[in-house]
Amino acid sequence: MKLAVLPGDGIGPEITDATLRVLDAADRKFSLGLRTERHPVGLAAYEKHGTTFPEATRTACRSADGIVLGPLSQVDYAPREKGGINVSAEMRSGLDLYANIRPARSRDGLQHWGRTPMDLVIVRENTEGFYADRSMHLGIGEFMPTPDLALSVRKITAQGSRRIAEAAFRMAAERRRKVTAVHKINVLKVTEALFLREVREVAKQHPEVKYEEQLVDSMAALLVRDAARFDVVVTTNMYGDILSDEATELSGSLGLGGAINAGDRYCMAQAQHGSAPDIAGKGIANPTSLVLSAAMLLDWLGARHGKDALVKAARAIDAAVDRVLASPKSRTRDLGGALGTADFAGAIAKELLSS
């Protein structure tokens, strides 16, 4: 299996190194045959190539079996026409990574911030919705007819809605068999109606899965009050982006949430959090999110290619992270521990190899 590794910006190179250390341990333990190739993106690529997303990197991602992408500082990029490409958005659209899958799970020994523990997954449509850079074939979906009037286009398609619903119901069938669709149909009566029409049709094909709906504002409140009631949550792009950050933070920390961007052909592991430039280079960043994202990538690759070893490795990484986090002494500083990025990765790798 060949993985294209894009370290990114800020703390990206540090947590990417940590993640590769854990993957190397998994490779040795389970004989996975992993091959990793690093390719430049972000500010480092811009300085050398005049673009944050060189064509050679794009080509390498298309030829890889999977992709690991570190955090990006896209708010600091030059305009797109001057080479400042949003790599994450470009990959999601260009590789048709339509499903952003973000688990949020409370972990033994770590404090959670909601009223109840949680173990849920938010399945977010990833290629359309309110995101203006994904709304148009040519140009972006935001425009200003006058200096004092700004408009934005929201795109919802039947195909996009149906396939994200199918992904959610497939996942629910392997978990606790419940899907919650999140929407705002009382305000966005046309686009939300189309989304819900497709989700409801998919629900009819899965009678073994319980189906319910929630308004996005009530969903935000319920994640705080009673997150334990939810299993798989399916929603459109922006709602999923916001709710998944809320859920992961409530479950313990945004730094503990893994995520993948998956399509029918490609899958990309990506940490839920940002590039944290204020602590870049200090060796104190928590790499858990990217480590767990890489484990999710292995699981996806194992399912797609029928390779049980990859699935076993993914589960072993997740379990090793749990065991390391269970001890306050072996946590990173953001979680009250004393370990730096490299030592924390070493602890996970050691736990993985000894289990």
Q: Are residues 78 and 139 in the same domain?
A: no
Please check the confidence at residue 133 and state whether its pLDDT lies above 90.
no
Q: Is residue 49, in this structure, part of any structural domain at all?
A: yes
Q: Are residues 86 and 28 in the same domain?
A: yes
Q: Please confirm, yes or no, whether 133 is among the known catalytic residues.
A: no
User: Helix 191-204 crosses helix 158-173 at what angle (to 10 degrees)?
Assistant: 40
**Averaged pLDDT score across all residues of the chain:** 96
Q: Please confirm, yes or no, whether 241 is among the known catalytic residues.
A: yes
Catalytic residue, chosen from 9, 27, 231, 241, is 241
Q: Are residues 46 and 116 in the same domain?
A: no
Give DSSP secondary structure letters for 225-294: HHGGG-SEEEE-HHHHHHHHHHHHHHHT-GGG---EEE-SS-EEEE-SS---GGGTTSS----HHHHHHH
The tokens describing 346, both together, are 């070493």
Please check the confidence at residue 183 and state whether its pLDDT lies above 90.
yes
Q: Please confirm, yes or no, whether 211 is among the known catalytic residues.
A: no
For the segment 232-244, the average pLDDT, to the nearest whole number, is 97
Q: Is residue 147, in this structure, part of any structural domain at all?
A: yes
Q: Please confirm, yes or no, whether 27 is among the known catalytic residues.
A: no
Catalytic residue, chosen from 17, 65, 133, 245, is 245
Q: Is residue 118, in this structure, part of any structural domain at all?
A: yes
Adjacent-strand bridge partners of 36: 3
SS3 content of the chain, % helix, strand, coil (to 5): 50, 20, 35
For the segment 327-343, the average pLDDT, to the nearest whole number, is 95
φ, ψ dihedrals at 90, nearest 5°: -65, -40
Per-residue model confidence (pLDDT) at position 53 = 98
Q: Are residues 246 and 260 in the same domain?
A: no
Name the domain boundary from 251, 283, 302: 251
pLDDT in tens, 57-107: 999 999 999 999 999 999 999 999 999 999 999 999 999 999 999 999 999
Please check the confidence at residue 135 and state whether its pLDDT lies above 90.
no
Q: In terms of residue numbers, what domain contains 234?
A: 112-251
The CATH code of the domain that includes 63 is 3.40.718.10
Per-residue model confidence (pLDDT) at position 139 = 80
Please check the confidence at residue 125 and state whether its pLDDT lies above 90.
yes
Q: Are residues 19 and 143 in the same domain?
A: no
CA 167-172-110 angle, 5° bins: 110
Per-residue model confidence (pLDDT) at position 140 = 84
Name the domain boundary from 231, 251, 271: 251
Q: Please confirm, yes or no, whether 77 is among the known catalytic residues.
A: no
Catalytic residue, chosen from 46, 77, 131, 239, is 131
Neighbouring C-beta atoms of residue 176, cutoff 10 Å = 13
User: 120 near 231, Cβ under 8 Å?
Assistant: yes
How far is Cα 47 from Cα 73, in angstroms, rounded to an integer? 14
CA 16-20-21 angle, 5° bins: 115
Q: Are residues 277 and 222 in the same domain?
A: no
Catalytic residue, chosen from 2, 82, 217, 329, is 217
Q: Are residues 60 and 120 in the same domain?
A: no
Name the domain boundary from 251, 267, 294: 251
Does the reported pTM lie above 0.85? yes
Q: Is residue 182, in this structure, part of any structural domain at all?
A: yes
Q: Are residues 217 and 286 in the same domain?
A: no
The count of domains in the chain is 2
Positive/negative CA dihedral, 79, 82, 86, 91? positive
C-alpha dihedral over 23, 24, 26, 29, to 10 degrees?
Answer: 180
